[in-house]
Structure 1
Amino acid sequence: MQPPQEEIAISTGKAGLQNDQDHSEDISETNHQNDDGVIESPAIITPSIAADLPSIVSDALPTTQAKTSTAPSRTVLPPPSEYEIETEAEIECQDMYGINYLNYAATHQISYCESESNSGLQCFNAHGRPHPHNVPADTFCVAQGVEITQEPTHDLNTGASTPHPNIGMQCRLRNFTTERLKHPEKAESELKWVANIDNLETYFFDTGAKMQLYDMKISPVEELSGRQCTRDTHGNSTWILLARREGNHNIWHKFMETWQAMLTFDTMRMAINPSSGEPYMTEEDVRNALIVFDDDREEPYDDWWHIVANNGNPLLRKNDLAPGCYSNIVLPLAGSSSNFWPLIISPGYQPPCHNPFFFRAVRSRMFSHLKLTPRSATSTRQHPTMTFIDRRKKRIIYDSDHLLTKLRNMYPHSTLNVVDFSQLTLKAQVELILDTDILIGTHGSALLHLLWMHPDTAYVEIKPVSFPFHWRTFAAFNSINYFDTMAVWPEVWNWTTHKIKPAPGWKPPTENNDWQDGQYIYLDETDFLRTVDAAVRSQKAKMSTGQPPKVLQCDDQTCEYVEVVAGQD
Structure 2
Amino acid sequence: MPGIFPVWSHEEGIDQKQNRMPGLGRQSRKYLLAGFCLAISLFLTYLYSPAWQHRNGNDYIWGKTPGLGHSNNTTVGTADKITEPAFPPDYIYESEDQKNCERVYGGSYLTHIATHQHSYCDARSPGQIQCFEAPRLGTPWTSDWQKDPMCIARGVLYNPPSSASNLVTANTFTVQCDPRLPSQDVAGTPEQGNAFPPLDKMGIYWFETGIGTQFKEWDFDARKDNNCSKTVDDPSWILLARREQNRNIWHKLMEPWQAMLTMDALQMAINPETSKPWLGETDASSVQVVFEDDREEIYDDWWKMVTGNPPIRRSAIPPGTCFRNVILPLAGSSSPFWTALLESVYHETCRTQFLLDTFLRRVYKFLELTPRAPSDIHVDPTITIIERKDTRKFIDLDRWVEILRLKYRKSSINVVDFADLTLKEQVKLVQSTDVLVGHHGAAMTHVLFLPPEAAVVEIMPPFFEMRGFRSVARMRGLAHFSARCMWPEEWNATVNGVPLPEGWQPPQTKAGWQEAEWAYMTEENFVGYVEAAVRHQQNRRYDGI
Report the TM range for the smaller structure's normalisation: 0.7 to 0.9
Residues 139/512 of structure 1: CA separation in 2 closer, same or farther (3 Å cut)? closer
Cα deviation, residue 108, structure 1: 0.4
Specify the alignment match of 2:260 in structure 1. 262
1:123 Cα deviation after fit: 0.3
After TM superposition, the structure 1 stretch with the greater mean CA deviation from structure 2, 327-336 or 122-131, is 122-131
1:413 is matched with which residue?
410
Shift of 1:187: 6.1
The separation in 1 between residues aligned to 2:53 and 2:79, in whole angstroms, is 14
2-side partners of 1:58 and 1:378: how far apart? 31
Give the drift of 1:289. Answer: 1.0
| Bigger Cα displacement from structure 2, 506-515 vs 356-365 | 506-515
Structure of larger gyration radius: 2
2:121–2:128 contact (8 Å) kept in structure 1? yes
* SS of equivalent to 2:341: helix
Q: Name the counterpart of 1:319.
A: 315
Distance 2:155 2:348 in 1: 41
Aligned to 1:50: none
Greater shift after overlay, 391-400 or 125-134?
125-134
Matched, 1:166 2:169: no
Mapping of residues 507-518 of structure 1, within 5 Å = 507-518=505-516
Q: Hey, what's the Cα distance between the residues in 1 that align with 2:240 and 2:515?
A: 34
Deviation at 1:58, TM superposition (A): 6.1
Alpha-carbon shift at residue 56 of structure 1 (Å):
1.6
Give TM-score scaled by structure 1 length.
Answer: 0.77
In the TM superposition, residue 60 of structure 1 has moved relative to its aligned partner by: 6.1
- Alpha-carbon distance in 2 for matches of 1:19, 1:127: 46
Assess if the C-alpha contact under 8 Å between 2:128 and 2:153 holds in 1. Answer: yes
Partners of 2:98 and 2:348 within 8 A in 1: no
Whether contact under 8 Å (1:95, 1:127) holds in the other structure is: yes
Choose which of 390, 393, 397 in structure 2 pairs with 1:393.
Answer: 390
Code of the residue aligned with 1:346 in structure 2: it is E
Q: Does 1:102 align with 2:110?
A: yes
Q: Alpha-carbon deviations, 1:492-544, whole Å to 9, x = none?
A: 32333333334455444343422111101111111221211111111111102
The structure 2 residue matched to 1:486, chosen from 476, 484, 487, is 484
Q: Unaligned 5+ residue runs, structure 1?
A: 1-17, 23-53, 62-69, 156-162, 548-565
SS in 2 for 1:265: helix
Aligned residue for 1:341, secondary structure, equals helix
Match of 1:5 in 2: none
The Cα of 1:203 is off from its aligned counterpart by 0.8
Would you say 1:230 and 2:245 are equivalent positions? Answer: no
Provide the rounded CA distance (Å) in 2 between the counterparts of 1:184 and 1:388. Answer: 54
* Pair 1:79-2:87 in alignment: yes
User: Deviation digits for residues 91-116 of structure 1, max 9, x if unmatched?
Assistant: 22221221111101101001100011
Displacement of 1:143 after TM fit? 0.3
- For this pair of structures, how many residues does the alignment match? 475
- Structure 1 residue 55: Cα displacement: 4.9
Equivalent position SS for 1:153: coil
Give the superposition deviation at 1:439: 0.2
Partner residue, 2:542: 544
Quick one: which amino acid aligns to residue 217 of structure 1?
D
- The correspondence for 1:531, drawn from 529, 532, 543, is 529
Separation in 1, partners of 2:358, 2:446: 15
Residue type matched to 1:56 in 2? S
SS at match of 1:539: helix
Instruction: Give the 3 Å change call, closer, same or farther, for CA 271–437 of structure 1 in structure 2.
Output: same
Match of 2:426 in 1: 429
Which residue of 2 is the match for residue 140 of structure 1? 150
- SS of 1:145's equivalent? strand
1:38 paired residue number: none
Contact 1:92 1:352 in 2 (8 A): no
Aligned to 1:121: 129
Cα RMSD, aligned residues only: 2.9
Q: Structure 1 residue 495 and structure 2 residue 498: aligned?
A: no
Question: 1:206 matched to which residue of 2?
Answer: 208
Q: What is the deviation of 1:186?
A: 6.9
Secondary structure in structure 2 of the residue aligned to 1:329: strand
Task: Tell me by how many angstroms 1:252 deviates.
Answer: 1.4
Contact map agreement 1:129 1:337 (CA 8 A) in 2: no
Per-residue CA deviation, residues 187-206 of structure 1 (Å, 9 max, x unaligned), is 677x6722212332211122
